[in-house]
Amino acid sequence: MSELVIWSAAAGGWQKCAPDEITWLDRSLLSGGRDLTLHRSPRCPGLRHVHHRWELFSRDVSHLVYAAPTAPAAVPDHREVEAAARFVLPLAHGAFEPTPARLDAGAWLISVGTWVLPVRVSVAPGDRDRPTSPAADGLPGTYEIHRPGHSPARRKPPVPDAVPRVARYFQRNPTACLAMAYYYQDFISGGLGPQPRPMDSVIVALDLNKGAVSEYKKELQRHIWNEQGHQRELGEFLLVNGLIGPADLGRALQAAAANEAGGRTGLARERLRYNKK
């Protein structure tokens, strides 16, 4: 059976990965929990043993994932890994992972954000000629062979004080926080990406004015980027930075249940239907 070992800074040495478990390249493993821009499982990259081989896959909606073959003792800067990458896994979108990358026997460096993880793969002689299962057609993204001079597009970063600005906004407007938690509830509950609920369903459940969710989103984008046009990144930013989470979702669901029990949900639905006419 092929084997995989990864370097563990916490353990100060190499650790063998169990073939029947996913090894998540999460915030804890890569940064010891310090880098809050990295995700926790299952929304991060990972390594798994499939069809007799080890493969790198990604459910990360924020970071490209690079894998470069290397000398066994090398641990270069993440920019060197990006420049030498054989595989580049794009961002995960919707409910799909990009096509995974099979790691051949040898030493590899995997970079996520600014963090680099050394990996070693050994393949048993009997497994060398066994093919991996081909990827299904029609997936929205696949890994790409890195070409010299290729530089992935960079998104505009948030303003330096974006997190405290949003935190203050939610303190002044707690209904906006509940609305965003309800809107992104599938992502909070473990979805691969920030797949939002329909805005009308949020308006009805929380008894909001028509257009309230859209206005909250616009205001949050102004607080984070000083501009609009960051619809896809908004949910990622709020989740990654802990600005909305399970506790907020719990409060939003409680408010929705209270509205349903009190008859306010039906009135909100009728009001919305009247406004559409």
Sign of CA dihedral 109, 110, 113, 116: negative
Same domain? 115 vs 172: no
In a domain, 139, yes or no: no
Q: Model-level pTM greater than 0.85? A: no
Same domain? 120 vs 196: no
Whether residue 192 has pLDDT greater than 60: no
In a domain, 140, yes or no: no
pLDDT tens per residue, range 112-149? 999 999 999 987 655 544 443 333 333 323 333 333 44
In a domain, 155, yes or no: no
Contact criterion met (CB below 8 Å) for 146 and 85: yes
Same domain? 174 vs 241: yes
Distance (Å) of CA 120 to CA 4, 69, 72, 82, 164: 6, 10, 8, 18, 41
Residue linked to tokens 């930013």: 237
pLDDT grade, residue 153 (50/70/90)?
very low
Closest CA to 275 of 208, 183, 198: 208
The number of domains in the chain is: 2
pLDDT at 43: 85
Residues 6+ apart with CB under 8 A from 77: 116
pLDDT at 20: 87
Query: What's the half-sphere exposure (Cβ side, CA atoms, 13 Å) at 275?
Result: 13
In a domain, 65, yes or no: yes
In a domain, 221, yes or no: yes
Query: How far, in Å, CA of 88 to CA of 81, rounded?
Result: 10
CATH of the domain at 97: 2.60.200
- Of 127, 151, 175, the residue at which a domain comes to its end is 127
Same domain? 112 vs 191: no
In a domain, 120, yes or no: yes
| Average pLDDT in the chain | 80
Same domain? 95 vs 190: no
SS3 content of the chain, % helix, strand, coil (to 5): 35, 20, 45
Alpha helices in 143-209 (DSSP H): 162-172, 174-183, 185-188, 199-206
List the domain range (segments joined by +) for residue 249: 162-276
